[in-house]
């Protein structure tokens, strides 16, 4: 099985499980795991919230493009992208060109439950989180579907089950 030759890029909304699934996949497939948000924080020395406060979402997205541009061409990596990474045409092109893209789908109800106590997500620092999640889903879901080579639902499923679905798909694709 030549899975290790392919980069695996995980896309989907916040709360879909990209980081958790990515870490598990990396350990199972003996690949290197990266998370775009963690990489941005490591490179800047500050958290994502601070970047949003000082540079706004546009500044953050520019940093995200740099990280994806640096990491996507590498070999044998798993990259958990931020929920909005696919808004960038450059990022979508890089992901499609340098590996397989897996869309982790999550329902709004599960997404809301998974992010309810998460204070680290700048886009959810609002009164009506549900309205934001709905708007982001409408804006982004068509792009997740467009860029994905494979989709897997994560509602009511543990990390291992989701990862195993991806592994089976990789082995047969």
Q: Cα separation of 65 and 54, whole Å?
A: 18
Q: What is the pLDDT of residues 27-72, one digit of tens each?
A: 999 999 999 999 999 999 999 888 988 998 899 999 999 999 999 9
**Span 6-23, mean pLDDT?**
94
Helix (H, G, I), strand (E, B) or coil at 151: strand
Is residue 152 packed enough to be buried (19+ CB in 10 Å), middle (13-18) or exposed (0-12)?
A: buried
**Span 85-93, mean pLDDT?**
96
pLDDT band of residue 134 (cuts 50, 70, 90) is: confident
Domain span at 58: 3-172
pLDDT of 128:
73
Q: Torsions phi, psi of 140, nearest 5?
A: -100, -30
CA dist 62 to 18, 46, 84, 161, Å?
21, 16, 12, 34
H runs (alpha helix) in the chain: 18-29, 36-44, 48-71, 89-98, 108-115, 129-147, 159-172
pTM of the model as a whole: 0.91
Domain count, the chain: 1
* Closest CA relative to residue 100, chosen from 24, 3, 19, 1: 3
The 8-class DSSP code of residue 82 comes to P
* Closest CA relative to residue 165, chosen from 2, 23, 6, 25: 25
Q: Is a pLDDT exceeding 50 seen at residue 1?
A: no
pLDDT of 87:
94
* Closest CA relative to residue 12, chosen from 162, 151, 166: 151
pLDDT of 2:
47
The fraction of the chain above a pLDDT of 90, given in percent, is 71
Neighbours of 42 (CB within 10 A): 11
133 compared with 51, residue with greater pLDDT: 51
What's the gap between Cα 171 and its chain centre?
A: 22
Residue 27 belongs to a domain with what CATH number? Answer: 3.40.50.300
């Amino acid at each position: 099985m030549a899975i290790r030759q392919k980069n695996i890029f995980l896309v989907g909304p916040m709360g879909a499980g990209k980081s958790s699934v990515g870490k598990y996949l990396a350990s199972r497939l003996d690949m290197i795991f990266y998370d775009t948000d963690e990489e941005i924080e490591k490179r800047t020395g500050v958290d994502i919230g601070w970047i949003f406060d000082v540079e706004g979402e546009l500044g953050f997205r520019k940093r995200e493009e740099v990280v994806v541009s640096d990491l996507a061409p590498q070999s044998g990596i798993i990259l958990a992208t931020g929920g909005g990474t696919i808004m960038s045409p450059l990022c979508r092109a890089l992901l499609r060109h340098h590996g397989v893209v897996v869309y982790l789908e999550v329902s709004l109800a599960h997404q809301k439950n998974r992010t309810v106590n998460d204070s680290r997500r700048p886009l959810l620092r609002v009164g009506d989180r549900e309205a934001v999640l709905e708007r982001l889903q409408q804006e982004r879901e068509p792009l997740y579907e467009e860029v994905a080579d494979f989709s897997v639902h994560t509602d009511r499923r543990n990390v291992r089950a989701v990862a195993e679905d991806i592994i089976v798909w990789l082995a047969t694709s």
